[in-house]
Structure 1
Amino acid sequence: MNKLKGLLLCGALFWLSGCASGFGRLPYDSWRLGLFAPDYMEVWIETADAVDIHDRAYRRAMSGVAAIQLPKNLKGNPRGWPEHPGSGAGKQVLGADVPRLLYVRWQSLVEPQTYEAYIVIPKATQQAMLKGEKTFCKADAKWITDYRNMLTVGLAPGGIARVWLGGQCLKPIDVARVQADVVEVGPSGGKNEGRYALPLKPAAKVYIEKYGIPYGSW
Protein backbone atom coordinates (compact mmCIF):
# COMPACT_ATOMS: atom_id res chain seq x y z
CA MET A 1 0.00 0.00 0.00
CA ASN A 2 3.01 2.34 0.33
CA LYS A 3 3.14 2.64 -3.45
CA LEU A 4 -0.47 3.78 -3.64
CA LYS A 5 -0.13 6.18 -0.71
CA GLY A 6 2.82 7.79 -2.43
CA LEU A 7 0.87 8.24 -5.64
CA LEU A 8 -2.11 9.69 -3.80
CA LEU A 9 0.08 12.10 -1.82
CA CYS A 10 1.85 13.22 -4.97
CA GLY A 11 -1.49 13.71 -6.70
CA ALA A 12 -2.90 15.71 -3.79
CA LEU A 13 0.12 18.03 -3.68
CA PHE A 14 -0.04 18.52 -7.43
CA TRP A 15 -3.73 19.37 -7.22
CA LEU A 16 -3.17 21.90 -4.45
CA SER A 17 -0.35 23.54 -6.39
CA GLY A 18 -2.80 24.56 -9.11
CA CYS A 19 -0.15 24.21 -11.80
CA ALA A 20 -1.52 21.31 -13.83
CA SER A 21 -0.67 22.26 -17.39
CA GLY A 22 -3.12 21.00 -19.97
CA PHE A 23 -6.03 20.86 -17.51
CA GLY A 24 -9.34 20.71 -19.33
CA ARG A 25 -7.84 19.68 -22.66
CA LEU A 26 -10.19 16.72 -23.03
CA PRO A 27 -12.70 17.06 -25.89
CA TYR A 28 -15.46 16.02 -23.45
CA ASP A 29 -16.38 16.84 -19.86
CA SER A 30 -15.22 13.61 -18.22
CA TRP A 31 -14.39 9.97 -18.85
CA ARG A 32 -16.12 6.99 -17.28
CA LEU A 33 -14.73 4.16 -15.18
CA GLY A 34 -16.91 1.06 -15.04
CA LEU A 35 -16.42 -2.44 -13.65
CA PHE A 36 -18.10 -5.80 -14.15
CA ALA A 37 -17.66 -9.49 -13.35
CA PRO A 38 -18.43 -12.64 -15.38
CA ASP A 39 -21.80 -14.33 -14.86
CA TYR A 40 -22.25 -15.55 -11.27
CA MET A 41 -18.66 -14.58 -10.29
CA GLU A 42 -19.71 -11.92 -7.80
CA VAL A 43 -17.29 -9.28 -6.55
CA TRP A 44 -17.36 -6.34 -4.17
CA ILE A 45 -15.14 -3.41 -5.09
CA GLU A 46 -13.42 -1.93 -2.05
CA THR A 47 -11.99 0.88 -4.16
CA ALA A 48 -11.17 1.75 -7.75
CA ASP A 49 -8.79 4.72 -7.87
CA ALA A 50 -7.45 6.65 -10.85
CA VAL A 51 -4.29 8.71 -11.33
CA ASP A 52 -4.17 10.97 -14.39
CA ILE A 53 -1.16 12.00 -16.47
CA HIS A 54 -0.58 14.99 -14.18
CA ASP A 55 -0.37 12.64 -11.15
CA ARG A 56 -3.67 13.88 -9.75
CA ALA A 57 -5.28 11.08 -7.75
CA TYR A 58 -9.02 10.35 -7.75
CA ARG A 59 -9.60 8.14 -4.74
CA ARG A 60 -12.63 5.82 -4.77
CA ALA A 61 -13.64 6.89 -8.24
CA MET A 62 -15.79 3.76 -7.97
CA SER A 63 -16.65 1.28 -5.21
CA GLY A 64 -19.39 -1.18 -4.33
CA VAL A 65 -21.10 -3.80 -6.48
CA ALA A 66 -19.76 -4.48 -9.97
CA ALA A 67 -22.15 -5.12 -12.84
CA ILE A 68 -23.00 -8.81 -13.22
CA GLN A 69 -25.56 -11.12 -14.80
CA LEU A 70 -27.19 -13.88 -12.71
CA PRO A 71 -29.34 -15.79 -15.23
CA LYS A 72 -31.94 -18.12 -13.79
CA ASN A 73 -31.77 -21.90 -14.19
CA LEU A 74 -27.95 -21.73 -14.47
CA LYS A 75 -28.21 -20.67 -18.12
CA GLY A 76 -25.43 -18.10 -17.88
CA ASN A 77 -21.86 -18.71 -19.02
CA PRO A 78 -19.06 -17.17 -16.95
CA ARG A 79 -16.26 -18.61 -19.10
CA GLY A 80 -14.12 -16.09 -20.93
CA TRP A 81 -14.96 -12.47 -21.64
CA PRO A 82 -17.84 -11.12 -23.73
CA GLU A 83 -16.99 -10.07 -27.29
CA HIS A 84 -18.56 -6.68 -26.63
CA PRO A 85 -18.23 -5.87 -22.92
CA GLY A 86 -20.62 -3.21 -21.73
CA SER A 87 -19.77 -0.13 -19.73
CA GLY A 88 -20.09 -1.87 -16.36
CA ALA A 89 -21.26 -0.29 -13.13
CA GLY A 90 -19.37 2.95 -12.69
CA LYS A 91 -19.08 6.69 -12.44
CA GLN A 92 -17.75 9.65 -14.37
CA VAL A 93 -14.27 10.73 -13.29
CA LEU A 94 -14.71 14.49 -13.15
CA GLY A 95 -11.83 16.94 -13.46
CA ALA A 96 -9.31 14.34 -14.63
CA ASP A 97 -7.12 14.31 -17.69
CA VAL A 98 -6.52 10.97 -19.39
CA PRO A 99 -5.46 8.30 -16.88
CA ARG A 100 -2.01 6.80 -16.57
CA LEU A 101 -2.81 4.36 -13.74
CA LEU A 102 -5.78 2.55 -12.23
CA TYR A 103 -5.69 0.84 -8.85
CA VAL A 104 -8.43 -1.66 -8.05
CA ARG A 105 -8.86 -3.58 -4.79
CA TRP A 106 -11.74 -6.04 -4.73
CA GLN A 107 -13.24 -8.98 -2.91
CA SER A 108 -13.85 -12.05 -5.05
CA LEU A 109 -16.87 -13.35 -3.16
CA VAL A 110 -17.03 -16.75 -4.87
CA GLU A 111 -13.58 -17.89 -3.71
CA PRO A 112 -13.46 -15.92 -1.32
CA GLN A 113 -10.28 -13.87 -1.75
CA THR A 114 -9.19 -10.24 -1.78
CA TYR A 115 -7.04 -8.85 -4.62
CA GLU A 116 -5.37 -5.63 -5.66
CA ALA A 117 -4.15 -4.64 -9.11
CA TYR A 118 -2.14 -1.74 -10.50
CA ILE A 119 -3.10 -1.20 -14.13
CA VAL A 120 -0.83 1.00 -16.23
CA ILE A 121 -2.66 2.73 -19.09
CA PRO A 122 -0.54 2.69 -22.28
CA LYS A 123 0.21 5.92 -24.15
CA ALA A 124 -1.60 4.52 -27.20
CA THR A 125 -4.75 4.24 -25.09
CA GLN A 126 -4.35 7.77 -23.77
CA GLN A 127 -4.03 9.06 -27.34
CA ALA A 128 -7.08 7.06 -28.44
CA MET A 129 -9.13 8.77 -25.71
CA LEU A 130 -8.44 12.16 -27.33
CA LYS A 131 -9.23 11.18 -30.90
CA GLY A 132 -12.72 11.61 -32.33
CA GLU A 133 -13.97 9.01 -34.81
CA LYS A 134 -16.79 9.16 -37.31
CA THR A 135 -19.18 6.30 -36.64
CA PHE A 136 -22.75 5.26 -37.28
CA CYS A 137 -24.70 5.20 -34.01
CA LYS A 138 -27.50 2.64 -34.07
CA ALA A 139 -29.18 4.22 -31.05
CA ASP A 140 -30.43 7.19 -33.09
CA ALA A 141 -29.50 6.02 -36.62
CA LYS A 142 -27.11 8.92 -37.23
CA TRP A 143 -23.49 9.42 -38.17
CA ILE A 144 -21.68 11.13 -35.30
CA THR A 145 -18.19 11.96 -34.07
CA ASP A 146 -17.71 9.73 -31.05
CA TYR A 147 -14.88 9.42 -28.51
CA ARG A 148 -13.54 6.46 -26.61
CA ASN A 149 -14.12 7.91 -23.16
CA MET A 150 -15.21 4.76 -21.31
CA LEU A 151 -12.73 2.50 -19.50
CA THR A 152 -14.28 -0.82 -18.52
CA VAL A 153 -12.55 -3.24 -16.14
CA GLY A 154 -13.54 -6.90 -15.91
CA LEU A 155 -12.72 -8.63 -12.60
CA ALA A 156 -12.52 -12.43 -12.47
CA PRO A 157 -11.64 -15.09 -9.88
CA GLY A 158 -7.95 -15.83 -9.55
CA GLY A 159 -7.21 -12.10 -9.56
CA ILE A 160 -7.58 -11.43 -13.28
CA ALA A 161 -8.31 -7.85 -14.33
CA ARG A 162 -9.01 -7.10 -18.00
CA VAL A 163 -9.46 -3.59 -19.38
CA TRP A 164 -11.17 -2.24 -22.49
CA LEU A 165 -11.60 1.25 -23.92
CA GLY A 166 -14.84 2.08 -25.69
CA GLY A 167 -17.29 4.80 -26.61
CA GLN A 168 -21.04 5.06 -26.73
CA CYS A 169 -21.11 3.99 -30.39
CA LEU A 170 -17.56 2.67 -30.88
CA LYS A 171 -16.38 -0.91 -30.62
CA PRO A 172 -14.26 -1.50 -27.48
CA ILE A 173 -10.54 -2.12 -27.92
CA ASP A 174 -8.26 -4.13 -25.62
CA VAL A 175 -6.10 -2.15 -23.23
CA ALA A 176 -4.50 -4.56 -20.75
CA ARG A 177 -4.73 -7.84 -18.87
CA VAL A 178 -3.27 -7.84 -15.36
CA GLN A 179 -2.66 -10.54 -12.78
CA ALA A 180 -3.54 -9.04 -9.40
CA ASP A 181 -1.83 -9.76 -6.10
CA VAL A 182 -3.55 -11.29 -3.09
CA VAL A 183 -4.17 -8.81 -0.27
CA GLU A 184 -2.65 -10.72 2.63
CA VAL A 185 -4.55 -8.86 5.35
CA GLY A 186 -7.83 -9.95 3.77
CA PRO A 187 -11.05 -8.02 3.12
CA SER A 188 -11.60 -4.48 4.36
CA GLY A 189 -7.94 -3.98 5.16
CA GLY A 190 -8.10 -6.68 7.83
CA LYS A 191 -10.50 -4.59 9.91
CA ASN A 192 -13.54 -6.83 9.60
CA GLU A 193 -12.29 -10.08 11.17
CA GLY A 194 -12.01 -11.70 7.73
CA ARG A 195 -15.67 -11.20 6.90
CA TYR A 196 -16.53 -10.39 3.31
CA ALA A 197 -18.84 -7.55 2.34
CA LEU A 198 -21.78 -9.59 1.04
CA PRO A 199 -23.03 -13.18 1.01
CA LEU A 200 -23.32 -14.88 -2.36
CA LYS A 201 -26.66 -14.51 -4.06
CA PRO A 202 -28.57 -17.82 -4.40
CA ALA A 203 -28.00 -18.10 -8.16
CA ALA A 204 -24.25 -17.63 -7.78
CA LYS A 205 -24.05 -20.07 -4.87
CA VAL A 206 -25.94 -22.78 -6.77
CA TYR A 207 -23.78 -22.29 -9.88
CA ILE A 208 -20.53 -22.57 -7.95
CA GLU A 209 -21.72 -25.64 -6.06
CA LYS A 210 -22.66 -27.40 -9.30
CA TYR A 211 -19.99 -26.27 -11.76
CA GLY A 212 -17.20 -24.70 -9.73
CA ILE A 213 -15.09 -21.75 -10.84
CA PRO A 214 -13.77 -21.88 -14.43
CA TYR A 215 -10.20 -20.80 -13.63
CA GLY A 216 -8.02 -20.39 -16.68
CA SER A 217 -10.82 -19.15 -18.94
CA TRP A 218 -10.10 -15.47 -18.36
Structure 2
Amino acid sequence: MNSILRITVCAYLLSGCTFANSEAMPYKSWRLGFSAPNYMEVWIESADVVDIKEQVYPRAMSGTAAIQTPLNNTGDPRGWPEKPGIGKGKNVTGADLPKKIYVRWQSLVEPQTYQMVINVPESTRAIMRKEEKAFCAFDGKWITDYRNALVINLAPGGMAKIWVMGSCLPAIEVTKVKAVVDPRGPYEGKSGGKYDKLSDQSKAYVEKFGVPYDSWK
Protein backbone atom coordinates (compact mmCIF):
# COMPACT_ATOMS: atom_id res chain seq x y z
CA MET A 1 0.00 0.00 0.00
CA ASN A 2 1.56 3.31 -1.04
CA SER A 3 2.10 6.16 1.40
CA ILE A 4 -0.74 8.35 0.09
CA LEU A 5 -3.16 5.44 0.29
CA ARG A 6 -1.93 4.48 3.78
CA ILE A 7 -2.50 8.01 5.09
CA THR A 8 -5.94 8.16 3.47
CA VAL A 9 -7.01 4.80 4.88
CA CYS A 10 -5.68 5.57 8.37
CA ALA A 11 -7.47 8.91 8.41
CA TYR A 12 -10.63 7.18 7.33
CA LEU A 13 -10.39 4.54 10.04
CA LEU A 14 -9.62 7.10 12.73
CA SER A 15 -12.50 9.35 11.75
CA GLY A 16 -14.90 7.52 14.07
CA CYS A 17 -17.31 6.76 11.27
CA THR A 18 -19.97 4.18 11.98
CA PHE A 19 -22.01 2.23 9.49
CA ALA A 20 -25.77 2.39 9.45
CA ASN A 21 -26.19 -1.06 7.96
CA SER A 22 -24.17 -4.10 8.98
CA GLU A 23 -26.37 -6.97 7.80
CA ALA A 24 -24.62 -10.29 7.49
CA MET A 25 -23.21 -11.12 4.06
CA PRO A 26 -25.22 -14.06 2.65
CA TYR A 27 -22.20 -15.82 1.10
CA LYS A 28 -18.64 -16.61 2.13
CA SER A 29 -16.86 -14.14 -0.15
CA TRP A 30 -17.43 -11.67 -2.97
CA ARG A 31 -15.41 -11.29 -6.14
CA LEU A 32 -13.49 -8.23 -7.36
CA GLY A 33 -12.85 -8.24 -11.10
CA PHE A 34 -11.32 -5.86 -13.64
CA SER A 35 -11.65 -5.45 -17.40
CA ALA A 36 -10.54 -2.96 -20.04
CA PRO A 37 -11.77 -2.01 -23.54
CA ASN A 38 -10.29 -3.85 -26.50
CA TYR A 39 -6.60 -2.99 -27.02
CA MET A 40 -6.62 -0.46 -24.15
CA GLU A 41 -4.22 -2.44 -21.96
CA VAL A 42 -3.82 -1.65 -18.28
CA TRP A 43 -1.65 -2.87 -15.44
CA ILE A 44 -3.25 -2.76 -11.99
CA GLU A 45 -0.58 -1.96 -9.43
CA SER A 46 -2.95 -2.44 -6.50
CA ALA A 47 -6.63 -2.59 -5.61
CA ASP A 48 -7.11 -2.21 -1.85
CA VAL A 49 -10.45 -2.83 -0.13
CA VAL A 50 -11.97 -1.37 3.03
CA ASP A 51 -15.04 -3.35 4.09
CA ILE A 52 -18.02 -2.23 6.17
CA LYS A 53 -16.33 -3.52 9.32
CA GLU A 54 -13.47 -1.07 8.68
CA GLN A 55 -11.04 -3.88 7.89
CA VAL A 56 -8.41 -3.13 5.24
CA TYR A 57 -7.46 -5.71 2.59
CA PRO A 58 -4.37 -4.44 0.75
CA ARG A 59 -3.66 -5.74 -2.75
CA ALA A 60 -6.95 -7.58 -2.96
CA MET A 61 -6.21 -7.60 -6.69
CA SER A 62 -3.27 -6.67 -8.92
CA GLY A 63 -1.98 -7.51 -12.38
CA THR A 64 -3.60 -7.38 -15.80
CA ALA A 65 -7.29 -6.75 -16.45
CA ALA A 66 -9.40 -8.93 -18.73
CA ILE A 67 -9.06 -7.64 -22.30
CA GLN A 68 -9.40 -8.73 -25.92
CA THR A 69 -6.84 -7.82 -28.59
CA PRO A 70 -8.14 -9.28 -31.88
CA LEU A 71 -5.75 -9.44 -34.81
CA ASN A 72 -5.93 -7.03 -37.76
CA ASN A 73 -7.68 -4.29 -35.75
CA THR A 74 -11.00 -6.15 -35.90
CA GLY A 75 -11.98 -5.29 -32.32
CA ASP A 76 -13.78 -2.12 -31.25
CA PRO A 77 -12.74 -0.48 -27.96
CA ARG A 78 -15.20 2.41 -28.13
CA GLY A 79 -17.75 2.87 -25.36
CA TRP A 80 -18.72 0.88 -22.31
CA PRO A 81 -19.87 -2.74 -22.71
CA GLU A 82 -23.62 -3.33 -22.73
CA LYS A 83 -23.11 -6.74 -21.14
CA PRO A 84 -19.88 -6.67 -19.17
CA GLY A 85 -18.09 -9.87 -18.35
CA ILE A 86 -17.00 -10.87 -14.87
CA GLY A 87 -13.47 -9.60 -15.51
CA LYS A 88 -10.16 -10.91 -14.30
CA GLY A 89 -9.87 -11.01 -10.53
CA LYS A 90 -10.36 -13.07 -7.42
CA ASN A 91 -12.48 -13.45 -4.31
CA VAL A 92 -11.78 -11.05 -1.45
CA THR A 93 -11.53 -13.79 1.15
CA GLY A 94 -12.37 -12.88 4.74
CA ALA A 95 -13.82 -9.48 3.86
CA ASP A 96 -17.35 -8.30 4.43
CA LEU A 97 -19.05 -6.27 1.70
CA PRO A 98 -17.03 -3.31 0.41
CA LYS A 99 -17.25 0.26 1.65
CA LYS A 100 -14.33 1.73 -0.30
CA ILE A 101 -11.99 0.45 -2.98
CA TYR A 102 -8.68 2.19 -3.72
CA VAL A 103 -7.28 1.46 -7.18
CA ARG A 104 -3.96 2.47 -8.68
CA TRP A 105 -3.27 1.46 -12.28
CA GLN A 106 -1.23 2.16 -15.38
CA SER A 107 -2.98 2.95 -18.66
CA LEU A 108 -0.36 1.59 -21.03
CA VAL A 109 -1.72 3.06 -24.27
CA GLU A 110 -1.26 6.65 -23.10
CA PRO A 111 0.90 5.94 -21.01
CA GLN A 112 -0.35 7.37 -17.71
CA THR A 113 -0.72 6.35 -14.07
CA TYR A 114 -4.05 6.86 -12.28
CA GLN A 115 -5.43 6.40 -8.80
CA MET A 116 -8.99 6.63 -7.51
CA VAL A 117 -11.27 5.93 -4.59
CA ILE A 118 -14.56 4.14 -5.26
CA ASN A 119 -17.13 4.87 -2.56
CA VAL A 120 -19.53 1.93 -2.53
CA PRO A 121 -22.96 3.12 -1.31
CA GLU A 122 -25.34 1.10 0.84
CA SER A 123 -27.69 0.84 -2.15
CA THR A 124 -25.04 -1.22 -3.94
CA ARG A 125 -24.50 -3.49 -0.95
CA ALA A 126 -28.29 -3.96 -0.75
CA ILE A 127 -28.21 -5.25 -4.33
CA MET A 128 -25.34 -7.59 -3.43
CA ARG A 129 -27.32 -9.00 -0.47
CA LYS A 130 -30.54 -9.57 -2.41
CA GLU A 131 -31.20 -13.13 -3.56
CA GLU A 132 -33.02 -13.65 -6.86
CA LYS A 133 -34.28 -16.57 -8.86
CA ALA A 134 -32.21 -16.95 -12.00
CA PHE A 135 -32.20 -19.31 -14.98
CA CYS A 136 -28.71 -20.55 -15.84
CA ALA A 137 -28.55 -21.24 -19.55
CA PHE A 138 -25.38 -23.32 -19.34
CA ASP A 139 -27.04 -26.06 -17.26
CA GLY A 140 -30.72 -25.31 -17.92
CA LYS A 141 -31.64 -24.93 -14.25
CA TRP A 142 -33.33 -22.32 -12.07
CA ILE A 143 -31.24 -21.38 -9.06
CA THR A 144 -31.15 -18.83 -6.24
CA ASP A 145 -28.35 -16.45 -7.12
CA TYR A 146 -26.70 -13.30 -5.76
CA ARG A 147 -24.86 -10.46 -7.43
CA ASN A 148 -21.70 -11.22 -5.50
CA ALA A 149 -19.21 -9.92 -8.07
CA LEU A 150 -18.12 -6.30 -8.36
CA VAL A 151 -16.64 -5.58 -11.80
CA ILE A 152 -14.61 -2.46 -12.68
CA ASN A 153 -13.92 -1.48 -16.30
CA LEU A 154 -10.85 0.77 -16.63
CA ALA A 155 -10.55 3.05 -19.67
CA PRO A 156 -7.96 5.61 -20.82
CA GLY A 157 -8.31 9.10 -19.43
CA GLY A 158 -8.80 7.67 -15.95
CA MET A 159 -12.43 6.71 -16.53
CA ALA A 160 -13.93 3.76 -14.67
CA LYS A 161 -17.39 2.23 -14.62
CA ILE A 162 -18.56 -0.25 -11.98
CA TRP A 163 -21.19 -2.99 -12.09
CA VAL A 164 -22.40 -5.75 -9.77
CA MET A 165 -23.39 -9.10 -11.23
CA GLY A 166 -23.92 -12.77 -10.47
CA SER A 167 -23.00 -15.95 -12.27
CA CYS A 168 -26.51 -16.20 -13.71
CA LEU A 169 -27.83 -12.67 -13.05
CA PRO A 170 -27.34 -9.72 -15.43
CA ALA A 171 -25.03 -6.89 -14.48
CA ILE A 172 -26.37 -3.71 -12.86
CA GLU A 173 -24.40 -0.49 -13.30
CA VAL A 174 -23.83 1.19 -9.94
CA THR A 175 -21.45 4.11 -10.49
CA LYS A 176 -18.82 5.79 -12.65
CA VAL A 177 -15.61 7.38 -11.35
CA LYS A 178 -13.04 9.77 -12.84
CA ALA A 179 -9.58 8.99 -11.48
CA VAL A 180 -6.76 11.48 -10.93
CA VAL A 181 -3.27 11.33 -12.38
CA ASP A 182 -0.47 10.33 -10.02
CA PRO A 183 2.40 12.66 -11.00
CA ARG A 184 4.94 10.20 -9.57
CA GLY A 185 4.23 7.89 -12.48
CA PRO A 186 4.38 4.08 -12.52
CA TYR A 187 5.27 2.19 -9.35
CA GLU A 188 5.20 5.38 -7.28
CA GLY A 189 8.13 6.75 -9.27
CA LYS A 190 10.33 3.73 -8.59
CA SER A 191 10.65 2.65 -12.24
CA GLY A 192 12.14 5.91 -13.53
CA GLY A 193 8.97 6.63 -15.50
CA LYS A 194 9.24 3.39 -17.47
CA TYR A 195 5.99 1.61 -18.42
CA ASP A 196 5.50 -1.94 -19.61
CA LYS A 197 5.33 -2.45 -23.38
CA LEU A 198 2.07 -2.81 -25.27
CA SER A 199 1.28 -6.01 -27.12
CA ASP A 200 1.84 -5.87 -30.87
CA GLN A 201 -1.93 -5.95 -31.48
CA SER A 202 -2.67 -3.03 -29.16
CA LYS A 203 0.25 -1.01 -30.51
CA ALA A 204 -0.96 -1.53 -34.09
CA TYR A 205 -4.49 -0.41 -33.22
CA VAL A 206 -3.43 2.73 -31.37
CA GLU A 207 -0.95 3.74 -34.07
CA LYS A 208 -3.69 3.51 -36.72
CA PHE A 209 -6.79 4.74 -34.88
CA GLY A 210 -5.59 6.50 -31.73
CA VAL A 211 -7.33 6.36 -28.37
CA PRO A 212 -11.11 7.13 -28.45
CA TYR A 213 -11.22 9.13 -25.20
CA ASP A 214 -14.61 10.73 -25.91
CA SER A 215 -16.36 7.35 -26.07
CA TRP A 216 -15.96 6.78 -22.31
CA LYS A 217 -17.35 10.08 -21.01
1:58 maps to 57
1:113-152 alignment runs, 5 A limit:
113-152=112-151
Supply the AA of the counterpart residue of 1:216: D
* Residue deviations 1:36-78 (CA, integer Å, cap 9, x gap): 1100000000001111111111100000111100011110000
Q: Which residue of 2 aligns with 1:34?
A: 33
What amino acid sits opposite 1:5 in the alignment? R
Mapped to 2, the partners of 1:211 and 1:54 lie a distance apart of 46
Aligned residue number for residue 49 of structure 1: 48
Shift >6 Å, 4+ stretches: 10-13
* Equivalent residues of 1:103, 1:116 under 8 A apart: yes
Do the aligned partners of 1:10 and 1:55 also contact (CA within 8 Å) in 2?
A: no
Aligned pair count? Answer: 210
Aligned to 2:86: 87
- Which residue is equivalent to 1:17? none
CA offsets 1:99-135 (integer angstroms, 9 cap, x no match): 0111110000000000001111111111111110011
Q: Provide the aligned C-alpha RMSD in A.
A: 2.0
Query: Please, what TM-score do these two structures have when normalized by structure 1?
Result: 0.91
C-alpha separation between the residues in 2 aligned to 1:210 and 1:59? Answer: 38
Partner residue, 2:197: 199
Contact 2:22/2:52 (<8 A) preserved: no
Q: In the aligned structure 1, how far is the partner of 2:110 from the partner of 2:180?
A: 14
- State the 1:3 CA deviation: 6.0
Query: Structure 2 matches for 1:1-40, cutoff 5 A?
Result: 4-6=5-7, 8-9=9-10, 25-40=24-39
Instruction: Please state how far the C-alpha of 1:24 moved relative to its aligned partner.
Output: 9.4
Preserved contact between residue 11 and residue 57 of structure 1 (Cα < 8 Å): no
The 8 Å contact of residues 49 and 62 in structure 1, kept in 2 or not, is answered as yes
In the alignment, residue 5 of structure 2 is paired with which amino acid? L
Extract unaligned runs of 5+ from structure 1: 14-21
Could you tell me whether the CA contact under 8 Å between 1:36 and 1:88 is conserved in 2?
Answer: yes
Percent identity, aligned pairs only, is 55
Question: Counterpart of 2:125 in 1: which secondary structure?
Answer: helix
- 1:158 is paired with a residue whose SS is helix
- Cross-structure match for 2:17: none
Distance 1:7 1:51, change over 3 A: farther
TM-score by length of 2: 0.91
Kindly state the Cα deviation for residue 25 of structure 1 after the two structures are TM-superposed.
2.4
* Equivalent position amino acid for 2:66 in 1: A
